[in-house]
Amino acid sequence: MRSAVAIGVKELRLLLLSGAGLASAITCMGAAIFVCGTAQMEPPIASYRLVTVCGSLLSLFTIVLMAGAAQRDTLSHCNEIVLTRPYSLDKLIAVRCLAGAAGIVIIWAASVTVGVLAYWLLGGGRLNLVMGWDTFIRYVTPLVFLAIVSYCFTWLMRNHLAAAVVALYWIAVLLGGTYVGHILDFSLTQNAPLYWVLAAGFLLVTAAVARVREGIGRPVVKLELAATVVLLASFVLAYQFEIHRHDPPFHMDLVTLNMGVQHAPAAPRAPGFWLPDQHGRTFRLSLHDDRPLVIAFWSPQVAESAQVLPLLQEVQRRWGDRVLPIAICIANDFSYARHAAREMGLTFPMLVDTGTHLTDTATESAPLAGAYDLAMLPSVFVTDSQRRLLNANLLLSIGSPLRLQGSRLQRILQKVLGE
């Protein structure tokens, strides 16, 4: 065990202290400073930009670093080390692969920490450790998955071209989100359990092949069986995810489709919806017909739209139980609404449209976006206590912080409440 730990620590130092490792860390931390320290923004937007910019950069570096580590093992065949250690090549490969993945996670943690400090010291925000933790957790799975797959594919194929294959898959997922099913996107937090299991399966398969290929000892039946079981489990998990989600073109959810066929401009009442809130509970609009509603749409992809969230919190603070503010997040990652509520201390319902499939047109990006005929974000709709729409779409001016005092929204709510 001590020898395995020693080799893991050595592999970790090789990755972090190599020229490529240091360059990757410095680049990602520099990008974090630029992203979070050059403009004022709400915490969810800073978190989103850290993931999309720094996370994407580190993903590319991960493929290169792990492919290099695997190719180094292949060229040396690890024979000298294996012959002097009390364990076989499969265990050595597993230790080196996991140590390399740990190194990538350390670089990501350092980048997020620098980003949080830049947001506090340079970006005008407060020190938000919750934002840092949520950002770190959101992209750990993609990085570990890429690290393990890059290492395993390169070792199995004994060629750097394997890393190119992984890179192409990553780029296809990154750029083809509009056209491919969400189940293929390993960067989405709702897919994290699936890709942790799949990464474990790849590592077990590589370890099993290593023992057979190098001829060191007899093949371990338990190892091969474990690899088979884990890979089968990943396919079963993927199937379960698909049949319970709206993920075109693979699966269409009837409830989500029914939400999308509603049309606010032609209906006397606000289109209804069943969506998960920040606590994981299903929020049903039909159960809240007893008071006026303020329904706001936002997206982490539109930085200015997050300014509507403090406005909704102010509505709740001023009118309490007399008015119910609701925020609906248009994002293909289900965690953004939950994390935004945590990072900003929001207590009103924070929902996410789980049918979101981002496109260039706001109206087509999500079922509810089409139902409410969204033209831009943020968009706000106000209803009376009978859920009748009082405005077609209250387009709030963006570019400067939104304020409730003296706003059109305040005047509408005062009229509804008879103030």
Pairing of strands 379-383, 350-352: unpaired
- Residue 249: inside a domain: no
Q: Alpha helix (H) ranges present in 215-284?
A: 221-243, 254-260
pLDDT value for 111: 96
The answer for residues whose C-beta is within 8 angstroms of residue 80's C-beta and 6 or more apart is none
Are residues 391 and 290 part of one domain?
Answer: yes
* Token pair 């831009």: residue: 376
Q: What is residue 82's predicted lDDT score, i.e. its pLDDT?
A: 47
- Both 206 and 347 in a single domain? no
* pLDDT score recorded for residue 83: 45
- Is residue 242 within 8 Å of 253, Cβ to Cβ? no
User: Which of 209, 243, 277 is the C-terminal boundary of a domain?
Assistant: 243
Are 201 and 105 found together in one domain?
yes
Domain that holds residue 96: 2-243
> Is 408 a domain residue?
yes
Tell me whether residue 386 is in a domain. yes
pLDDT at 250: 74
Same domain, 26 and 159: yes
Cα–Cα dist 15/63, whole Å: 12
Query: 263 and 233, same structural domain?
Result: no
pLDDT at site 92: 81
105 and 188 share a domain?
A: yes
The answer on 363 and 235 residing in a single domain is: no
Show which of 220, 243, 266 is a domain's final residue: 243
The total number of structural domains in the chain stands at 2
- Whole-angstrom Cα distance, residue 14 to residue 201? 25
Query: For position 366, which CATH number holds?
Result: 3.40.30.10
Q: Are residues 292 and 269 in the same domain?
A: yes
Task: Identify the pLDDT of residue 155.
Answer: 86
Residue written as tokens 């093949």?
A: 219
* Residues 228 and 285 reside in one and the same domain: no
**pLDDT tens digits, the chain, 419 residues: what are they?**
667 787 788 888 888 888 899 999 999 999 999 999 887 888 999 999 999 899 999 999 999 899 888 877 556 555 445 444 556 677 788 888 999 999 999 999 999 999 999 999 987 778 889 999 999 999 999 999 999 999 998 888 877 777 778 888 777 776 665 556 677 788 889 989 999 999 999 999 888 888 777 665 555 567 788 888 898 998 898 888 888 887 777 777 777 777 777 776 666 788 888 899 998 899 998 888 788 899 999 989 888 888 899 989 999 998 888 899 999 999 888 899 999 999 999 999 999 988 887 665 655 678 888 888 887 888 888 888 888 888 666 655 554 456 665 577 888 888 888 77
Q: What is the pLDDT of residue 79?
A: 47
For residue 19, tell me if it sits in a domain.
yes
Residue 227 in any domain: the answer is: yes
pTM for the whole thing?
0.87
In a domain, 187, yes or no: yes
b/e map 84-111, b = 16+ CB within 10 Å: ebeebbbbbbbbbbbbbbbbbbebbebb
Claim to verify: residue 263 and residue 215 sit in the same structural domain: no
The domain boundary, picked from 219, 243, 267, lies at 243
Same domain, yes or no: 103 and 49 = yes
Rounded to an integer, what distance in angstroms lies between the CA atom of residue 206 and that of residue 94?
8
- Residues 220 and 305 placed together within one structural domain of the fold: no
The answer to whether position 84 is within a domain reads: yes
Q: State phi, psi for 356 to the nearest 5 degrees.
A: -60, 135
> How far apart are alpha carbons 50 and 60 in whole angstroms?
15
β-strand partners of 380: 296, 394
